[in-house]
A and B are shown apart, each in its own frame.
Chain A
Amino acid sequence: MSRSIWFVAEHQDDKLHLGAAELSAAARALGDEVVAVVCAAPGGSIAQQVAPLADRVLVIEDSALEGYTAGLWTQGIVALARAQSPSAVLLPHAPLGRDLAPLLASRLEAGLLTDCLELEWNDGLVGTRSVFRRKLVARERVATPIAIATCQRGAFAAAAAGAAGTIESADCAIDPGGARTRLVSVERAEVGEDNIAEADIVVAGGRGLGDAEKFALVQELADAVGGVMGASRPVVDQGWVPHDRQIGSSGVTVRPRLYFALGISGAVQHVVGMRESDVIVAVNKDPRAPIFEYAHYGIADDLFKVVPALIAALKS
């Protein structure tokens, strides 16, 4: 039986998210046909943008689909999936997929695999994900006719654009009155002049810095190397630095020439946002910190001794 694998196109401001190419690649390895599903307001070009990544694009267009809301996207995708019975529907393990995937799974009575690092078809959809803070990996198989999965960002190599797939307008009515969630507004991040996403050198600090005052040391090293200061999530949660500094799964993904991780343990939420950096240096007093598995160079010592010494060495 031929398998049709769908992925949900993620987009904002009429721009397709780059992660679509990763979902396309994951889908291609699983099935015979790759279908991109687009939920959007009329007049945009998301279908055209995603077409080179799919054999077929299914477009659900409605003026009520301006911006993401769980209820309306669920209505549209569920109606299509019921009519066409895909073997699997893939989404990003990101705010979109984490909200939408369990809703689709519930309505379609489908098994859901989340945060997948690998997917294969082996008598059903089989996924691998990290558990126990990456100490183990778990394999699971979906036992229902339709499978839903969310893919970790960066875990699948992006597909190259191919011939544009056919674009079909899906005939399914959206009932805005049926939605119990409504998008009121989206608040953009305030990005300072020193945008970390575009920096050549990023110097990031974590919980190991201890408090907001001592965090100034991170900025000192950033200044000394001509880089930009970044941070891990706990530091942002504590309010030591603003949100636009956050690197990782709910922050910014960076790929600088040089990355310093100071007092960062290396939780998966952070690592997914920096592991592609060209050269990674970690300073952490715990020699067993997972960050050393991602770093190219490590110093297992007190950062309050090492960082001033680095600044001094740079000046010599």
Chain B
Amino acid sequence: MRIAVCMKAVVDPQARIEVDGDGNPRQDQLRYEVNEYDLYAVEEAIRLTDDGAGEVTVISLGDDSAVQGLRKGLAMGAADAIHVDCDPNTLDANGVAQMLAAALRDGEYDLVLAGVESVDLGGSQVGVLLAEALGFASTTLVVGTAAPVDGAMQVRRELEGGEHATVEIQMPAVLTIQSGINEPRYPSLKGIMAAKRKELAVKSPEDIGFATLPEARVVALGMATPPARELARMIEGSAEEAATELIRILREEEKAL
């Protein structure tokens, strides 16, 4: 089984994020890390090919910040990596999906896994749009997979309120992976060393057939700082003092106890 896993470099949520005069995040303040959900996807792909009957390719579209994620994927056990070298801010979700599809099209993948969303922008649409661009079936919010049988796979999909659906999906397919599905491994030293010898192919948009970038279906109008919310009434003092005061308020003022 050949599996590709999409990875994205996301802005570290702990970083200070402010907007410039044009409504763009100030780039000089941004730090990048691998999207957490994509690590669940890498881990699941490696487990699905554990028996030696398959290989995992990791792919990322982005500028240089994409490389660290791919290296991590390789160190976790992926066989090779593709870096589509392109500024993601020039593309909408459909554009990203079109370019990833172009880079993956000749790879004869049975399965493509992607994190359910990115933690920075949270669009949660590239996975399914990529499936469509490749002509693959898709399902989302996957929290469990089973070994494929006769070209189809049963997956567990998370619904709301603790409910789950079992969905049978024909391969080739794209699955978007939700947290809770597994515990991603930490790359071993051996894995990190081995990753240095693995192939990391860099492809420009031209290399994969895009002389011009795909036309955007969604146009960004800018970002802004949300209106400040009123903060909680903070109760000060030692833990005992604060606890006593809080219980008094809840009993006497709020009549909630």
Please classify the interface of chain B as helix (H, G, I), strand (E, B), loop, or mixed, using the class held by over half of its residues.
mixed
Q: Decide: A103 near B138, CB < 8 A? Known: A135-B17, A184-B167, A282-B232.
A: yes
Judging by beta carbons under 8 Å apart, are B138 and A243 in contact? no
B231, A181: Cβ atoms under 8 Å? no
Question: Which range holds the interface residue count of chain A?
Answer: 35 or more
- CB of A52 within 8 Å of the partner chain: no
- Interface status of A112 (Cβ within 8 A of chain B): yes
**B225 contacts partner chain A, Cβ-Cβ < 8 Å:** yes
Q: Which of A20-28, A34-42, A79-87, A305-313 contacts B (4 or more CB under 8 A)?
A: A305-313
Given contacts A132-B17, A186-B159, A297-B246, contact A302 B141 (CB under 8 A): no
Q: Who on chain B is nearest to A197 by CB?
A: B161
A136 and B180 within 8 A (CB): no
Alpha-carbon separation in the docked complex, A312 to B239 (Å): 11
Q: Indicate if the CB atoms of A144 and B226 lie closer than 8 Å.
A: no
A258 touches B250 (CB 8 A): yes
Given A103-B128, A313-B246, output 20 extra A-B contacts at Cβ < 8 Å. Answer: A98-B140, A102-B125, A106-B129, A112-B94, A112-B218, A113-B218, A126-B221, A131-B223, A138-B220, A142-B217, A143-B218, A183-B167, A201-B257, A252-B160, A258-B250, A292-B234, A297-B232, A297-B234, A301-B239, A306-B243
Which residue numbers of B lie inside 8 Å of A, CB to CB? 11, 13, 17, 19, 25, 92-94, 116, 119-125, 127-129, 132-133, 137-141, 154, 157-170, 173, 178-180, 216-226, 229-235, 239-240, 242-244, 246-247, 249-250, 254, 256-257
Confirm or deny: A139 has a beta carbon within 8 angstroms of a beta carbon on chain B.
yes
Assembly CA distance A244 to B138 (angstroms): 27
Q: Is A4 an interface position by the 8 A CB rule?
A: no
A289-307: CB near B (< 8 Å → 1, else 0) gives 0001111111111100110
A18–B234 Cα distance when bound, in Å, is 35
**Given A132-B25, A136-B25, A297-B246, are A258 and B257 neighbors across the interface (CB < 8 Å)?**
yes
Q: Which of A70, A140, A252, A312 contacts B220 (CB 8 A)?
A: A140
Which residues of the other chain, B, contact A115 by a CB distance below 8 angstroms?
122-124
Task: Pick from B120, B217, B229, B247: contact of A110, CB below 8 A.
Answer: B217
Would you call B163 and A299 a contact (CB within 8 A)? Answer: no
Contact residues of A: prevailing secondary structure: mixed
Cβ contacts under 8 Å, A302 to chain B: 239
Question: Is residue A216 within 8 Å, beta carbon to beta carbon, of the partner chain?
Answer: no
A251 touches B160 (CB 8 A): yes
B120, B121, B218, B244 — which one has the most chain A CB atoms within 10 A of its CB?
A: B218
Residues in A neighbouring B167, C-beta threshold 8 A: 69, 181-184
**Bound complex: CA A197 to CA B244 (Å):** 28
Kindly provide the distance from the CB of A6 to the nearest chain B CB, expressed in whole angstroms.
18
Tally A-B pairs: CB < 8 A. 257
* Cβ contact within 8 Å between A140 and B218: yes
Contact of B125 with A112 in the complex, beta carbons under 8 Å: yes
B-contact 0/1 string along A226-269, CB 8 Å cutoff: 00000001101100001110100111100001100000000000
Q: Does A175 contact B (CB under 8 A)?
A: no
Tell me whether B141 and A181 are in contact (CB under 8 A).
no
**Contact status B224-A141, CB under 8 Å:** no
CB–CB A185/B165 < 8 A: yes
Query: A136 contacts which chain B residues (CB < 8 A)?
Result: 17, 19, 25, 223-226
Decide if A214 is an interface residue (CB 8 Å cutoff): no
CB-defined contacts of B250 to chain A, threshold 8 Å:
258, 279, 281, 297
Whether A181 and B132, one on each chain, are in contact in the complex, defined by CB atoms closer than 8 angstroms, is no
Residue of A nearest to B139 (CB): A181
